[in-house]
Amino acid sequence: MYKITDNGVLKKIETWKLTIPRYDNEGNRFEDSLLESILEDITLNFGGCALVNCIGYWKGNEKTYSGEPNFEVIIDISPFEEVNAEEYFLTLKKNLRIRLKQEKIYLKRTRAEEEVLNFDEFFEEMGLTTIGGETEAEKRKLAQKCVNKTEQIIERLGYKTRLIRRDEQNKKLIWEREICGLVLKDEFQDTFPEGIKIFAADQIEEISNVIIREPGFAILGQYEFQNYIMSKFNYRPLVKSFIEEKQIDTDFQFFSPNLEPISLNTFVEDIVATIFTNYIILREEGFSEDEISIVIGKDGSTQQVSSKEGFLMFVPAVIPFPEVIKEIVRCLEIALLKYEKNELDRIAILQAKAKNKYILRRAQVRKSLKSMPD
């Protein structure tokens, strides 16, 4: 994945090449919207791709096809996405063969390239943005430690705050935290009002204790390196939704929680991620999977536990179509089953938690559960 040199780091880059025909076997050109949707999905999952026009010649079962222009789609994949990429492209190849009515879809994978990074670029890629005045020898030593812990760092579940201290004399805020045995120390300009309580975003218990009592408090940082997870990794749904717009015979527009128009499949994947986040909050607060019930209907979803009467979590949404509810149920069942078997993509889990404000929501749930009678 990574190799340390005297002056920097070599990062392995994997390249996939997918040939997409522009015409069917009868010479009819595919609609631009169909091809654009394929490229949009690739871009959504891997950040981008390059297109090369090419002409293919191949022999089918009954005749030889030749001379029709194709697209060769070239996608560079980071080493963190290799396993996800293999599953994605093999599934895409299978689906394209059916959608485009092809006897064969050509897919190639290469592993020959390396990207050259200096040490600072490598640290930034690892999410360690506080590296500053070290010598090259010190940077090389730290980079080697990171390489030895790459999987832990990339798939991290969070950091542990060691201390937060206000240096009132110098108007500085000092924050130390630990991740995978590496200690990070940051000093910030302290611009918070005097007397306000400050917590790190991983301090669930402390936040849950003050969330109602205190008139104001500040949360420092983002748990699970949320900015890092969302910016460095392309979107990964917990489970890919496959429902065609034409199954819904209407011009109904689906929206995100921020009231942005989104596609039907994105809507399904987003609401599954929100329900899933509530589920794992309940699991991590000590409830068994048998205690948790989930209901999905036209006005959204509810999640509750049998041992806490009156406790209810709610995901509001307008879902007027039975076909969409069925697809949400299908995706959620797969996600929960894989989660309980520890088979779910860990980056997808972190993205779901980041998008749905896991830490604040869990603190609110913990506060609510504490206030309820046993």
Q: What is the DSSP letter of 242?
A: -
Asked if residues 345 and 84 have their Cβ atoms less than 8 Å apart, the reply is yes
pLDDT (0 to 100) of residue 131:
47
Higher-confidence residue of 1 and 132: namely 1
- Rounded to an integer, the average pLDDT of 53-74 is 69
Domains of the chain: 2-116 (3.30.70.120), 118-154 (no CATH), 159-221 (no CATH), 237-371 (no CATH)
Structure token digits, residue 292: 């948790």
Q: Using CA atoms, how far apart are residues 32 and 36, in angstroms rounded to an integer?
A: 6
374, pLDDT greater than 60: yes
DSSP states of 248-317: S-S-PPEE-TTS-EE-HHHHHHHHHHHHHHHHHHHHHTT--GGGEEEEEETTEEEEEETTSTT--EEEE-
Average pLDDT of the chain is 80
- Rounded to an integer, the average pLDDT of 24-43 is 80
263-302: per-residue pLDDT in tens?
Answer: 888 999 999 999 999 999 999 888 998 999 999 999 999 9
| Residue carrying structure tokens 């990171």 | 146
pLDDT (0 to 100) of residue 121:
82
151-182: per-residue pLDDT in tens?
Answer: 666 555 567 788 888 888 888 888 887 776 67
Higher-confidence residue of 349 and 211: namely 349
Residue of 68, 55, 60, 58 whose CA lies nearest to 27: 68
Confidence of residue 327 (pLDDT cuts 50, 70, 90): very high
107-166: per-residue pLDDT in tens?
Answer: 888 766 788 888 888 877 776 655 455 678 888 888 887 777 766 665 555 677 888 888
48, pLDDT greater than 80: no
What is the value of pTM for the model shown? 0.59
In this predicted structure, which of 60-74, 197-211, 228-242, 335-349 has the lowest mean pLDDT? 60-74
- Rounded to an integer, the average pLDDT of 299-327 is 90
Q: Using CA atoms, how far apart are residues 230 and 42, in angstroms rounded to an integer?
A: 17
Asked if residues 201 and 287 have their Cβ atoms less than 8 Å apart, the reply is no
Confidence of residue 323 (pLDDT cuts 50, 70, 90): very high
- Rounded to an integer, the average pLDDT of 254-270 is 86
Q: Using CA atoms, how far apart are residues 370 and 210, in angstroms rounded to an integer?
A: 13
3-state DSSP assignment of residue 318: coil
Structure token digits, residue 250: 């209407």
Structure token digits, residue 54: 């090419």
Q: Using CA atoms, how far apart are residues 228 and 147, in angstroms rounded to an integer?
A: 18
pLDDT (0 to 100) of residue 300:
93
Structure token digits, residue 16: 């996939």
Q: Using CA atoms, how far apart are residues 116 and 136, in angstroms rounded to an integer?
A: 16
7, pLDDT greater than 80: yes
pLDDT (0 to 100) of residue 20:
85
224, pLDDT greater than 50: no
pLDDT (0 to 100) of residue 153:
61
Q: Which residues contact 138 (CB under 8 A, 6 or more apart)?
A: none
Q: Using CA atoms, how far apart are residues 335 and 348, in angstroms rounded to an integer?
A: 10
Asked if residues 190 and 171 have their Cβ atoms less than 8 Å apart, the reply is yes
